[in-house]
Amino acid sequence: MKPMNWALGAALALGLSTGIANAADTTLRISLQLPLTSHLGQNLLLFKEEVEKNSKGEIAVEIYDSAQLYKDKEVPAAVGSGSIEMGVASLTRFVGDIPAVDIFYQPFLFDTEEKVRAATAPGSTVRGPLDEAIKETGSTVLWWQAYGGAIMLSKGAPIKTPEDLKGKKVRVFGKTLGDFVTAAGGAPTLISGSEQYLAYQRGTVDVGMTGMSGVKSRKLWEVMDTVTVTNNADIEFLVLINTDFWNGLPDGHKAVIEAAALKADKEVRDRMSEIEAGAFEEAKENGMTIYTPTAEEMAAWKAVSQPVYDAYVEKAGDLGKTVLDAANNL
């Protein structure tokens, strides 16, 4: 899918096509923390287009981007309680209720695209049990949105090894990523995606952890100048719908939404490599240095990672063991 014209996309997303919304039997409001121009925003626009076209206007989709309604950390509760019909949240936002979701943040576990695709496929032995567990929180997972591998951001020099992280404050977006930083000698600070630009600008943290596509969509090259390609975790976002709301929909509406969700899931997964490559290129064009650790340096990162696995096994219970075994068998 080619990126939609920004002006057109904004008009669609903000509901300027009010004739559709007013005529619709069902309205789906979606909260997104990223800008609509991000690849997750563009993916939601694809979903919107598919749903409104194939429902013949019976379902309207309204997208509220850039954390207008809820921050990322607030989305699971907002959707689970029915305060909003749908929302996009980082998978790790469910770690409080379901510690096993942080399987994707076990250091270097999903270190190839093939493993990531196998693990995130609908109904896979890794994803399937997690989707089922999330239903218990009041939300149903419609699809997963790929966000790429984790990278580190810094100023002045790359973070080549754990030695370079010692004594530094590091922005993370999940408890397990924090455990990884701690194991490497850094001091993790949990900061939501929409607040990280200011955190880097103000020096609240010395180092950042995020996805490369987020560097592009948030123009983080304005506040950081170096990327270290650690690829220590696979970052995934979930598109959720309130379970009670979902169960109350007519079967015909469910079928349209499910088909659009499946298409959106495949589209964003298929484009992820291209999206990341484009983000790296744009970062370089904006003056960033891209550093890829050597094999010896990567070995040093992996050597400090075992405590993260130990903590996961202890906290994640039977479900954690199930998905970890499944991941190791991919």
What are the residue boundaries of the structural domains of the chain, listed by start? 6-328
* CA angle at 225 for the pair 220 and 229, rounded to the nearest 5°: 85
Q: Of 16, 24, 34, which Cα lies nearest the Cα of 196?
A: 34
Q: Enter the tokens of residue 90.
A: 């980082």
Q: Is the dihedral of CA 198, 74, 43, 19 positive or negative?
A: negative
Contact 228, 160 (CB under 8 A): yes
39-75 tens-digit pLDDT: 999 999 999 999 999 999 999 999 999 999 999 899 9
For 127-152, write each residue's pLDDT tens digit: 999 999 999 999 999 999 999 999 99
The tens-digit pLDDT sequence of the chain (330 residues) is 444 444 444 445 454 444 445 568 999 999 999 999 999 999 999 999 999 999 999 999 999 999 999 998 999 999 999 999 999 999 999 999 999 999 999 999 998 999 999 999 999 999 999 999 999 999 999 999 999 999 999 999 999 999 999 999 999 998 899 999 999 999 999 998 889 999 999 999 999 999 999 999 999 999 999 999 999 999 999 999 999 999 999 999 999 999 999 999 999 999 999 999 999 999 999 999 999 999 999 999 999 999 999 999 999 999 999 999 999 998
In whole angstroms, give the CA distance from residue 235 to residue 18.
35
Phi, psi of 235 (to 5 degrees): -95, 125
Measured in degrees and rounded to the nearest 5, phi and psi for residue 186 equal -95, 175
Task: Name the residue with tokens 């949105």.
Answer: 145
What does DSSP assign to residue 111?
A: -
Residue 173 neighbours by CB under 8 Å, 6+ apart: 72, 90, 92, 190, 191, 192, 193, 209, 210
The correct CATH number of 6-328 out of 3.40.190.170, 3.90.800.10, 3.40.50.300, 3.40.718.10 is: 3.40.190.170
Alpha helices in the chain (DSSP H): 6-13, 18-23, 39-54, 75-81, 113-120, 127-135, 175-183, 196-202, 212-217, 243-247, 251-285, 295-303, 306-328
Q: Considering the entire predicted model, what is its pTM?
A: 0.87
- Is 43 in contact with 267 (CB distance < 8 Å)? yes
